[in-house]
Amino acid sequence: MKKRIYLDNNATTPLDPRVLEAMMPYLTDKFGNAASRDHSFGWEALEAVDRAREQVAALLGAEPREIIFTSGATEGNNTVIKGLAEMYADRGRHIITQPTEHKAVIDPCRYLDKHDYRITMLGVDKYGRIDLNELRDTITDGTILVSIMHGNNEIGTLQPIAEIGKICKEKGVFFHTDVCQTFGKVPIDVQEMGIDLLTLSAHKIHGPKGVGAMYVRRKNPRVRPKPLLHGGGHERGLRSGTLNVPGIVGLGMAAELCGRDMATESKRLTGLRDRLRDGIMSGLDMIFLNGHPTERTPSNLNLAFAYVEAEALMMGFKEIAASSGSACTSASLQPSYVLRALGVDDMLAHGSIRFSLGRFNTADEIDHVIERVIAVVKEKREISPLYEMAQKGIDPRKVEWKVH
């Protein structure tokens, strides 16, 4: 198999041809501005945006008018966290999150930490899940927001979102979740899960880049973060700027396609993911699964290969696109901050690779990846003195090395 194989779908996904087909008219003939209410060009653009709002809302159990279109989840996360902090500062200045969040949540929290807000990072267990009792005990009268992602982008671990939402409701605290890795892949219901604010991105579900959405609850309770952008009052005044109509149409169609096939596609992806995991693990020793063994997204497989470097491995199978971390941090030479939060030691963290599957991956591709990964790992380990020591029962991490 000479063709390239793409297994980095958690970073981004290829555009579905059906999504492109839906977008094309709005890139050519139907080019109107959705805010132009005086002629048919604007009306047809607005109609398309309203339709997309319905398509996204349907996957969340939300009302269409609770969907606010953005440029992506990074903008959405910043709007939710900073905007809510500013709007409700008189109620409290305490925000709770976790150390395994995407940087688009962690960095806005760090920003607020420098501006007289208090940020609490909950601990996570070896699988990357928070402790619900710790969350309950950490909420104070000054807590205004809990932000916990649904599915982790690096290790795939799912958080108990419904239980978190219930605790937040009991305590009268707003609950935000980033669902970029779960939207369209696992069922989400903002009412049943007690979610007040939610952020997502189109390019994680075979939609276009540069467009996303926020869910902002309108009642029980009503939530109103202050906008980051001003200039026209678009999107209920929460996100000014001319709407990206083609992108929004693409997001809507991508959401609809996910809704149609979620049950069958989730089962198919889970099967391929487990086939990849079992195939690699049956052919190699000293391989470890990062993240929760069962409570994880259907598309994610993160494996630690002891005594080899992930970067060296990926150079050995260049035709396979995988990742040594999230797309936002994989250029760093530092071990993944997510894996370190789980307590994974540096050696295993440096040897960890994320394989993430998508709609267009096949069983033949997975079988090729299994074969290639096993071959390259064996090749690298043959020249590894550390692996040789480990085979003899010596743990290299416990050896006292002397420098001459």
Provide the domain count of the chain: 2
Q: Are residues 146 and 193 in the same domain?
A: yes
Window from 83-92, 287-296, 323-332 with minimum mean pLDDT: 323-332
In DSSP terms, which residues pair with 288 in a beta bridge?
304
Of 195, 230, 257, the last residue of a domain is 257
pLDDT given at position 399: 67
Domain match, 176 and 217 both: yes
Active site residue 328: yes
Q: What local confidence, expressed as pLDDT, does residue 326 receive?
A: 44
**127 in Cβ contact with 104 (< 8 Å):** no
The CATH number for 380's domain is 3.90.1150.10
What pLDDT sits at residue 119?
98
Residues 205 and 223 reside in one and the same domain:
yes
> How sure is the predictor about 370, in pLDDT bands with cuts at 50, 70 and 90?
very high
- Please indicate, yes or no, whether residues 230 and 283 belong to a single structural domain of this protein: no
| Residue from 168, 180, 258, 328 carrying the catalytic annotation | 328
286 plus 306 within the same structural domain: yes
Q: Which runs of consecutive H residues, i.e. helices, occur in 284-345?
A: 310-316, 337-341
What would the mean pLDDT of 38-60 be, rounded to a whole number? Answer: 97
Name the pLDDT band for 395 (thresholds 50, 70, 90): confident
| Residues 231 and 377 reside in one and the same domain | no
Sequence-distant contacts of 370-375: CB under 8 A, at least 24 apart: 370/275, 370/276, 370/279, 370/280, 370/283, 372/317, 372/319, 372/320, 373/280, 373/313, 373/317, 373/320, 374/279, 374/280, 374/283, 374/284
Q: Same domain for 214 and 275?
A: no
Q: Residue 151: is it exposed, middle or buried by C-beta count within 10 angstroms (0-12/13-18/19+)?
A: buried
pLDDT digits (tens, 9 = 90+) for 244-266: 999 999 999 999 999 999 999 99
Residue 403 lies in a domain: no
Domain assignment of residue 374, given as a range: 5-10+262-395
Q: Is 164 helix (H, G, I), strand (E, B) or coil?
A: helix
pLDDT of amino acid 337: 94
CA atoms of 337 and 328, how far apart (whole Å): 12
Summarised one tens digit per residue, pLDDT across range 123-155 is 999 999 999 999 999 999 999 999 999 999 999
Closest CA to 334 of 103, 42, 22, 30: 103
Q: Of 231, 257, 283, which closes a domain?
A: 257
Closest CA to 254 of 10, 8, 13: 13
CATH number of the domain that 106 lies in?
A: 3.40.640.10
pLDDT tens figures, 183-198: 999 999 999 999 999 9
**Cβ neighbours around 338 below 10 Å, total:** 28
The pLDDT score that the predictor gives to residue 327 is 42
Residue 157 lies in a domain: yes
CB atoms within 10 A of CB 316: 16
* Per-residue confidence (pLDDT) for residue 328, from 0 to 100: 45
pLDDT tens per residue across span 304-339: 999 999 999 999 999 999 998 644 444 556 789 999
